[in-house]
Amino acid sequence: MTDHITTVAGVAVDTRHWIGGARVASEETFTDVSPIDGSVLGEIARGTATEATAAVAAATAAFPGWAATPRAERARLLHAIADGVEKRLEEFAIVETSDNGALLRSHRRGVMPRVAHNFRFFADRLLDLGHDDFETRGHTNHVSWDPAGPCVLITPWNAPLMLATWKIAPALAAGNTVILKPAEWTPLTASLLADVTAEAGLPAGVLNIVQGYGAEVGEALVTHADVRRISFTGSVPTARRIAVAAGDHLTPLSLELGGKSPLLVFADADLDLAVDLAVEQYDNAGQVCLAATRILVEETIAEEFTRRFTAKAAALTQGDPRDPATDIGPNIHPRQVEKIDGFVRRALNAGARAIIGGGPKTDLGGLYYRPTLLTDVAQDSEIVQEEVFGPVLTLQTFASEDEAVALANDTRFGLAATLATGDPERAERVSARLVAGTVWVNCFFVRDLRAPFGGARQSGVGREGGTWSFDFYCDLKNTVTAP
Ligand code: NAD
């Protein structure tokens, strides 16, 4: 580590904020630690209200120029950023894996290409926007998508750069300026992105990145009067605080929150497919908001399903996420592992039975939790109702379609649902009755950025994706002109 630069897996990462096109240090720092082995990755600038104010000022100053930049030029710059991410894809992948412990092969093959795609998709979508003019008694109605102003984007650690760019790309495409606050457990790839945007020629102040804790710099950003949009991905308790803070200035909010999604397996399903879908829920060590963590199986096939699931899960390899043979890496932080284990202990004490797992995998060190499947769980129990955010699934059975739907919908969340059935009519019937932002039928995690994305109930407020992102990040205006 030299002055403000840390080297992570051979990649130089600046540990300072990125404000107004310049690197800015803070008086204090916080330590960023790798979940793989507990090694220190860097001492990161710890932002306060001072840096939040400076970043909002920089975004406010840059806004008129960026908003007036022709769409084609904004789109060109977003594509240039995507080019930069692709050029440094390997660096982004290894730094993200070092920082959040998710599989290196996933970052290489799926996540970082998706980061680049986020920029390309919203750049292209921008150029398609707004052919909505119509006439009323000879008057024309012209709908325009006006940029709203500085946007504060706050993101979690489970898919740091993917989730950040899912917001940055449409916000910038729309002509807004941005202040991103990455999660304090995963600050690094956002800093690399700042370098890429500078190299691509994005004007100073259009994208600003402030590092630090939510309760410090995060709070200062969401309470700022000059912020025109807040988009937040994270937990429900934080969302409540942010919603209250945003209330002061009535700043429009988009909230993408937690889930407790069901996987419904009907007796007519392709059982091998259903088992594959169930085991897939351990991906990213269970740290996926969309994960179908409640497995609901028709009782006539429950025994056979459990047998095949157990065999398949036993073949999963847990270990270093940089190793191509690894299926499940570490969880993010000791605090998170304690939280996961607390949920499991309490469930076991309340009478649940662990079919597999049930505790940490101690031979790998403190942060690796064994893939766990709990049964004999009551519908109103904590383990069925609360998001664990670790590799912990529950198994319940149902006797009828009505019961399956009732169990599936009986939580305060509504992010996603997955169903496995061989009957297309049943798929249609059940999908229509599920409370969820996304329903997957005989598949999981297939995402098209044209689709709306978000959650029902406490899984979120609003939708992003495709045109919905522009709805959120723009002030839509209708201009009526007399003949
Ligand atoms: P979190 O709510 O603890 O933190 C998220 C972000 O909010 C972090 O950057 C944090 O610093 C910041 N923050 C915390 N307090 C703040 C405050 N008072 N003001 C402003 N910012 C503040 O969530 P987490 O543990 O980082 O992430 C896990 C959660 O995110 C899970 O609930 C998961 O389901 C959810 N998630 C949802 C989606 C989705 O798209 N719906 C995607 C990924 C993760």
Which atom of ligand 1 lies nearest, measured to the CA of 259? 34
395-441 pLDDT, tens digit each: 999 999 999 999 999 999 999 999 999 999 999 999 999 999 999 99
Ligand 1 atom 40: residue of nearest CA:
256
- Beta strands 17-19 and 11-14: pairing type? unpaired
Ligand 1 neighbour 214 (Cβ under 6 A): yes
DSSP 271-325: HHHHHHHHHGGGGGGG--TT-EEEEEEEGGGHHHHHHHHHHHHHT--BS-TTSTT
346-402 pLDDT, tens digit each: 999 999 999 999 999 988 877 999 999 999 999 999 999 999 999 999 999 999 999
Average pLDDT over residues 154-167: 98
Ligand 1 neighbour 257 (Cβ under 6 A): yes
Task: Please classify residue 303 by burial: count the beta carbons closer than 10 Å to its beta carbon, then call 0-12 exposed, 13-18 middle and 19+ buried.
Answer: exposed
Ligand 1 atom 42: residue of nearest CA:
289
**Pocket mutation for ligand 1, best pick of 213, 233, 458 (most atoms within 8 Å of C-beta):** 233
> Is 133 a residue whose pLDDT tops 90?
no
Q: How far is the CA of 287 from the centre of ligand 1 (A)?
A: 12
Q: How far is the CA of 161 from the centre of ligand 1 (A)?
A: 14
Average pLDDT over residues 208-218: 98
Ligand 1 neighbour 256 (Cβ under 6 A): yes
Which atom of ligand 1 lies nearest, measured to the CA of 453? 40
Q: What is the pLDDT of residue 174?
A: 98
Q: Which residue has the higher pLDDT, 394 or 131?
A: 394
DSSP structural state of residue 453: B
91, 96, 256, 387: which one is catalytic? 256
Which atom of ligand 1 lies nearest, measured to the CA of 245? 19
Distance (Å, rounded) from C-alpha 192 to C-alpha 235?
25
Least confident of 105-109, 130-134, 148-152, 247-251: 130-134
> Predicted confidence band at 333 (pLDDT cuts at 50, 70, 90)?
very high
Listed as own residue / partner, the contacts of 393-396 with beta carbons closer than 8 Å and 24 or more positions apart are 393/278, 393/281, 393/282, 393/286, 393/293, 393/294, 393/295, 394/293, 394/294, 394/295, 394/352, 395/295, 395/297, 395/302, 395/306, 395/355, 396/294, 396/295, 396/296, 396/297
CB atoms within 10 A of CB 71: 16
Task: Please classify residue 139 by burial: count the beta carbons closer than 10 Å to its beta carbon, then call 0-12 exposed, 13-18 middle and 19+ buried.
Answer: exposed
Ligand 1 neighbour 389 (Cβ under 6 A): yes
Q: What is the pLDDT of residue 364?
A: 85
304 is catalytic: no
Ligand 1 neighbour 156 (Cβ under 6 A): yes
